[in-house]
Amino acid sequence: MTTLTVPSAPETRSARDAGAGDRSATRPGSKATRRGNAAAGIVAWVVALLFFFPVLWMVLTSLHSEPDAAGNPPKLFAPLTLDGYRTFFGSASGASPWPPLINSAEASVVSTLLVLCLAIPAAYALAVKPVRRWTDVMFFFLSTKMLPVVAGLLPLYIIAKQIGALDTMWYLIVLYTAMNLPIAVWMMRSFLAEVPPALFEAASLDGAGIVRTLRSVVVPIASPGIAATALICFIFSWNELLLANTLTSTVAQTAPVFLTSFVTSQGLFLAKVSAAATVISLPVLIAGFAAQDKLVQGLSLGAVK
3-class DSSP state of 55: helix
What mean pLDDT value characterizes the chain? 82
Q: What is the pTM of this model?
A: 0.80
Backbone phi, then psi, for 74, in 5-degree steps? -65, 145
Give the per-residue pLDDT at 297. 63
Give the per-residue pLDDT at 169. 95
From the number of C-beta atoms within 10 Å of its C-beta (0-12, 13-18, 19+), residue 262 rates as buried
As a whole number, mean pLDDT of residues 10-31 equals 51
Whether 228 has a pLDDT exceeding 90, the answer reads no
Whether 16 has a pLDDT exceeding 60, the answer reads no
As a whole number, mean pLDDT of residues 18-40 equals 64
As a whole number, mean pLDDT of residues 274-284 equals 92
**Residue 31's pLDDT band (cuts 50, 70, 90):** confident
Whether 24 has a pLDDT exceeding 70, the answer reads no
DSSP secondary structure string, 179-238? Answer: HHHHHHHHHHHHHHTTS-HHHHHHHHHTT--HHHHIIIIIHHHTHHHHHHHHHHHHHHHH
Whether 300 has a pLDDT exceeding 70, the answer reads no
Asked if 179 and 244 count as a contact pair (C-beta separation under 8 A), the reply is no
As a whole number, mean pLDDT of residues 249-257 equals 92
**Going by CATH, does the domain composed of 107-252 fall within 3.40.50.300?**
no
From the number of C-beta atoms within 10 Å of its C-beta (0-12, 13-18, 19+), residue 32 rates as exposed
The domain segmentation of the chain, as residue ranges, is 107-252
What ranges make up the beta strands (E) of the chain?
none
CA 232 – CA 229 distance, rounded (Å): 5
* pLDDT tens profile 111-153: 999 999 999 888 888 887 767 777 777 788 788 788 888 888 9
Q: Point out the least confidently predicted range of 2-11, 120-129, 184-193, 257-266.
A: 2-11
Residue 139: other Cβ atoms inside 10 A: 11
Whether 9 has a pLDDT exceeding 80, the answer reads no
CA 109 – CA 102 distance, rounded (Å): 10
Give the per-residue pLDDT at 299. 60
Asked if 188 and 225 count as a contact pair (C-beta separation under 8 A), the reply is yes
Whether 288 has a pLDDT exceeding 50, the answer reads yes
